[in-house]
Amino acid sequence: MPFTAGEVRWDRVCAPGPDGHWHAWITVHADAGALRRLGLHPDQPTAVVNAPSPPGWWHAAGERYGRRFPDARP
C-alpha cells in the first residue's frame, strides 16, 4: 500500500434511508503529502484531466461485464 497508517482515514455511516432500507456512506480522507508523492495532488500536472471521458457505450459495457462476472478480478 502506498500510504502509511497515519496518512489515510475513512469514516463509515450506516443508517436507514427514506425507503427504509439500510444504506452506507463512506468518506475517505488522505493526507495531501501522500497524494503529492503519487502525483495526485491538485497542483500536480498529472491530476488534471487531459482527455475527454470515454463514450457512454464504454461505461455501459463495463457495467454489463461487472454484472455478468461479479467475481472477476483484474
Domain assignment present for residue 1? The answer is no
Buried b (16+ CB within 10 A) or exposed e, 53-74: eeeeeeeeeeeeeeeeeeeeee
Structural domain harbouring 32: 8-68
Q: DSSP for the chain, please give it.
A: --S-TTTEEEEEEEEE-TTSSEEEEEEEEE-HHHHHHTT-STTSGGGS--SPPPPHHHHHHHHHHHHHSTT---
pLDDT tens string 1-48: 578 888 999 899 999 988 999 999 999 888 888 888 887 776 766 666
Tally of domains in the chain:
1
- Report pLDDT for 21: 92
What confidence score (pLDDT) does residue 46 get? 63
Residue 71 has a pLDDT of 72
Q: What is the pLDDT of residue 14?
A: 92
Over residues 47-70, the pLDDT tens digits come to: 667 788 889 898 898 888 888 877
Q: Does the pLDDT of residue 73 top 90, yes or no?
A: no
Domain-located, residue 23: yes
